[in-house]
Amino acid sequence: MKADRPQRPAPPPDGSAGWHHLGPKSREHLAAVGIHTAADLRAHDAFDVYARVKARWPGASRNLVYALLGAQEGRDWRDIARERRTEVLLRLDDMGLAPR
């Protein structure tokens, strides 16, 4: 039996929940495509943002999509990866960005 996960703190009232899951490199790459804040990210489609980052930084992994979605939704990227993997892969495939 798995140990229970610790309770996560309530999201900040400013809507920046999840933004902290983006590391410094990811934030640097996001800034390069015009995304500087959690509000900037929420104003755009996470998949479109990922495509823009991937075009500039081909090494961007699929985990970045999960992190972007998590930041938009105020959730941990690992929960997004576990719950929405198929949806994400299908969308990336439609965009020509799915892993081969």
Give burial (CB, 10 Å; 0-12/13-18/19+) of 63. Answer: middle
For every residue of 77-93, DSSP letters joined together read HHHHHHHHHHHHHHHHH
Nearest 5°: the CA angle 40, 58, 97 is 80
> Distance (Å, rounded) from C-alpha 52 to C-alpha 61?
13
Confidence of residue 5 (pLDDT cuts 50, 70, 90): low
CATH number for the domain whose boundaries are 19-94: 1.10.150.20
| pLDDT value at 14 more than 80 | no
pLDDT value, residue 85: 96
> Distance (Å, rounded) from C-alpha 56 to C-alpha 73?
25
Among 55, 76, 56, 57, which Cα is nearest to 67's?
76
pLDDT digits (tens, 9 = 90+) for 36-70: 999 999 999 999 999 999 999 999 999 999 999 99
